[in-house]
Chains A and B, each alone.
Chain A
């Protein structure tokens, strides 16, 4: 199919892999930042195609994963209220809080709905004037414009029964946080293609310079990821700590100005807590005060929420690329997508959940590698 099959061509993929092999002279650790990239890498088995010594570690870019447990509990407390229609992106529904998930709240009579666009909330609010429609506005820079548009339109059109529970996070502070760690192993980054479609990549240039790391803004299809890896390895081998753009068919250096303006109008930068990581200064967004009438946190007093994360979970280290899912003793046993113990297992895009979904808890990685070896005359 057009614009899809071209980026999944097995022969081209092999060519790129051969090129990486040619260019590479020593081992490198590269982090893909975005959860969508992690998902694609594991789904297509891209990491198994790469030459030995090119290690992909999975970054903190799964917005569902890094949403703090307190915020999930807050969302659940709001969703349980009778006068509320609670709307969310689909993958948030199975994320457990301290007591159950949004699906179980729905089974207990809560009005919980999956929306595909935040703007669907406007329609729902108009159809249900006696209810408060609360949208769980989470995500990185990618979802911020659409979420901002919901608030902006509700405000403009005087729709009082729309509010948002905001838990927005930003990528660059998270990258700096990873690089500031004394345990850091990451030497180069596959930058987040969709985030940069909105914000451009000029913010990544000072990071590359300051921390001496190359960053290649990369797409999400298998060939995007392989080409991004090749570009990163080339920069690493040449010792060039700059930002390059693999995803040029979608984005430019400046990003989408209109979207940026909308986000700036509605949100302001704030400190945010990241699940599994902790507080990172100036790493998130909150509603500007003129939109406070649409702020669900202000509208609903859900009392003090006290949460406790299981001590066994190492998601904090996994999110920073220090460890991998297999390094955790709970992975696939105590901790599964149906009973996640921490950030990286809660959403399909978390690295633990991606490993689990694609069956990697069932066997060790080396065994999968040997299956991936070309098998002439294999299945027709």
Chain B
């Protein structure tokens, strides 16, 4: 992999996040953050894109700043009494609450289990807080709870505390669930979005875009040939297997909101490295690809709920990949790119036809195009 980077060493690209003396020649680089001018919260603030990042950087981070939060990983890793605990929380507000391949219940368990797993932790205990809208049928609530029960049992985690609130009809959207989880990080594992190094290999665990397109096609009543099903799954078993194959995993992320492109941009920015992808290596199902083409969406920015991206040491890649492929959630695992020292903070992709494209973080949500 690495020989290619030599040939393109001559390309000097500055870190878009750090304006330098050269920036006058590059107008884009002098504007590190977008102009922020919202008097009200808009949906894009929850998209996982630039608007979300802005909200975190300009409001939440200054308010609560501390070294643990500043790592901006999907979970905090805390040293308590000689143990390393992973700690995370996530809210689930999906519409519709039942969709092909899953529902808000298993999503709420798997999402938090995955956020713990992405630190290499063994997930242990979860809490669940329910905000229910008056009028939600008991049948629906029971279905959600049963699904949570099944997902928790299958993930080997216990739900040990919780809370229930009910809001007036019209003040919620059937059901919102927040789950919080803790897990144990064992051994010499040190996984963080800030740990990617030049020369590392980017591994993707399988097909992308399934969850986002399943939700969208169901929500908008779009009928495509061949059902698209959410990929929601708990990934800690896969992570444990990968760590067994080699501890040299530097960064792990599950590309949920904002998809693979946004996640890799976060890793590139946090690790101050460049990432180079090969479009032909990225697996997208025909149904998802087709649905995305019709709507003018890009699968690289579509949410996944059962996939992970791993940045691993080059000499560990084949052992990890081999182990992933015999795990049920990693059968489609493949190498999709590499980490380079050039263009820090940026993700470049060699396109199917051999052109080059920069994968930037989106501003807000992806919008279907007119024609």
Residues on A facing B (Cβ under 8 Å): 1-2, 4-5, 8-10, 13-14, 36, 39, 42-46, 48-49, 63-64, 89-94, 103-104, 106-108, 114, 116, 138-140, 142-143, 194, 222-223, 226, 329-333, 336-339, 347-349, 356-364, 367-368, 370-380
Contact assessment for B28 and A331 in the assembled complex, using a CB-CB cutoff below 8 Å? yes
Which A residues are in CB contact (< 8 Å) with B359? 359
Q: In the complex the two chains form, is A332's CB within 8 Å of B277's CB?
A: no
Neighbouring B residues of A356 by C-beta, 8 Å: 28, 360
A selection of 16 A-B contacts at a CB cut-off of 8 Å is A4-B289, A39-B369, A44-B357, A46-B355, A49-B354, A94-B364, A107-B40, A107-B41, A339-B37, A349-B370, A362-B29, A375-B4, A377-B4, A378-B4, A379-B350, A380-B281
| Cβ–Cβ contact A332 & B42, under 8 A | no
Given the interface pairs A13-B353, A371-B348, the reply to whether A364 lies near B26 with Cβ below 8 Å is yes
Q: How far is the CA of A49 from the CA of B357 in the complex (A)?
A: 12
Which B residues touch A194, using CB under 8 A? Answer: 371
B81 contacts the other chain (Cβ, under 8 Å)? Answer: no
- Name the 3 nearest CB pairs between A and B, nearest first: A45-B355, A359-B358, A361-B28
* Stretch with Cβ within 8 A of A (4 or more), from B11-19, B60-68, B252-260: B11-19
- Do residues B42 and A48 form an inter-chain contact, with CB atoms below 8 A? no
B82 at interface, CB cutoff 8 A: no
B196 to chain A, nearest CB (A): 15
**Interface pair A363/B364, CB less than 8 Å apart:** no
A154 to B160 CA separation, bound complex (whole angstroms): 56
Query: Shortest CB–CB separation between residue A48 and chain B, in angstroms?
Result: 5
A49 contacts B353, CB within 8 Å?
yes
A116 to B277, CA, bound (A): 32
CB <8 Å contact, A379 and B31: no
B34 partner, pick from A338, A348, A349, beta carbons under 8 A: A338
The CA of A380 and the CA of B202, in the complex, are separated in Å by: 10
B188 within 8 A of A: no
User: Which one of B97-105, B135-143, B335-343 is at the A interface?
Assistant: B335-343
B277-293 interface code vs A (CB 8 A; 1 in, 0 out): 11011000010011001
A263 to chain B, nearest CB (A): 15
Q: Which residues of A contact B362 (CB under 8 A)?
A: 357
A360 — which chain B residues lie within 8 A by C-beta?
A: 358
B356, B362, B368: most-surrounded residue (chain A CB, <10 A) = B356
Given the interface contacts A107-B42, A379-B338, does A8 sit within 8 Å of B370 by beta carbon? no
Cα-based distance from A13 to B277 in the complex (angstroms): 19
Interfacial chain A residues near B222, Cβ < 8 Å = 116
Q: Which residues of A contact B41 (CB under 8 A)?
A: 107
Check A362 against B355 for contact (C-beta < 8 Å). no
Report whether A142 and B290 are in contact in the complex, using a CB–CB cutoff of 8 Å: no
Asked if B369 and A371 sit within 8 Å, CB to CB, the answer is no
Residues of B within 8 A of A332 (CB): 27-28, 31
Residues in A with CB closer than 8 Å to B277 are 379
CB contacts (< 8 Å) of A142 on chain B: these are 371
Q: Report how far A4 CA is from B352 CA in the complex, Å.
A: 11
**B290 nearest in chain A by CB position:** A1
CB <8 Å contact, A349 and B338: no
Contact A370 B363 (CB under 8 A): no
| B-to-A contact residues, CB < 8 Å | 1, 3-4, 7-8, 10-14, 16, 25-31, 34-35, 37-44, 50-51, 220, 222, 276-278, 280-281, 286, 289-290, 293, 295-296, 335-338, 343, 346, 348, 350-360, 362-364, 367-371
Decide if B11 touches A367 in the complex (CB within 8 Å). Answer: yes
Question: Would you call A338 and B50 a contact (CB within 8 A)?
Answer: yes
B353 touches A44 (CB 8 A): yes
B356 touches A380 (CB 8 A): no
| Bound Cα distance from A154 to B208, whole angstroms | 40
Question: Which of B37, B51, B222 counts the most A-chain CB atoms under 10 A from its CB?
Answer: B37
B346 proximity list for chain A (CB < 8 A): 359, 362
On whether the beta carbons of A333 and B363 are closer than 8 Å, the reply is no
Query: Considering the chains assembled together, what is the distance between the CA atoms of A329 and B39 in angstroms?
Result: 28
B369 touches which of A4, A46, A338, A348 (Cβ 8 Å)? A348
User: Closest residue of chain B to A138, judged by CB?
Assistant: B370
- The answer to whether A333 and B31 touch (CB under 8 A), given A107-B42, A116-B295, A362-B26, is yes
Of A36, A114, A362, which one neighbours B371 at CB under 8 angstroms? Answer: A36
Q: Is the CB of B371 within 8 A of A94?
A: no
Chain B residues near A4 (CB-CB < 8 A): 289-290, 293
B353 lies within 8 A of A89 (CB)? no
From the candidates B276, B351, B354, B371, name the one contacting A139 in the complex (CB within 8 A).
B371
Among B11, B38, B296, point to the contact of A371 (Cβ < 8 A): B11
- Provide the bound-state CA to CA distance between A29 and B340, in Å: 36
For residue A324, give the distance in angstroms from its CB to the closest CB of chain B.
13
Write the nearest CB–CB distance from A211 to chain B, whole angstroms.
Answer: 26
- The smallest C-beta distance from A203 to any residue of chain B, in angstroms, reads 19
A89, B356: Cβ atoms under 8 Å? no
Q: A49-B353, A107-B42 are in contact. Are A337 and B337 (CB under 8 A)?
A: no
Q: Of B3, B353, B367, which one neighbours A223 at CB under 8 angstroms? A: B353
Most buried by B among A39, A140, A338, A349: A338
Give min CB distance, B225 to chain A, whole Å: 11
Residue of A nearest to B289 (CB): A1
Residues in A with CB closer than 8 Å to B336 are 379
B10 lies within 8 A of A370 (CB): yes
A368 touches B356 (CB 8 A): yes
Shortest CB-to-CB span from B293 to chain A, Å, is 7
> Can you name the residue of chain A whose Cβ is closest to the Cβ of B317?
A380
* Cα distance A362–B353 in the bound complex, in angstroms: 22
CA distance in complex: A302, B90 (Å): 44
- The one of B7, B26, B281, B295 that contacts A379, using a Cβ cutoff of 8 Å: B281
Q: Are A10 and B280 in contact (CB under 8 A)?
A: yes
Contact status B12-A379, CB under 8 Å: no
Q: By CB atoms of chain A within 10 A, which of B27, B276, B277, B364 has the most?
A: B27
Q: Which residues on the B side are within 8 Å of A44 (C-beta)? A: 351-353, 355, 357
Given contacts A107-B40, A362-B13, 19 further A-B contacts (CB under 8 A): A1-B289, A10-B353, A64-B370, A90-B296, A90-B368, A90-B369, A94-B367, A222-B351, A222-B352, A338-B34, A338-B51, A357-B362, A358-B358, A364-B26, A367-B11, A367-B13, A368-B356, A370-B11, A380-B281
Pick the contact of A222: B289, B353, B369 (CB < 8 A).
B353
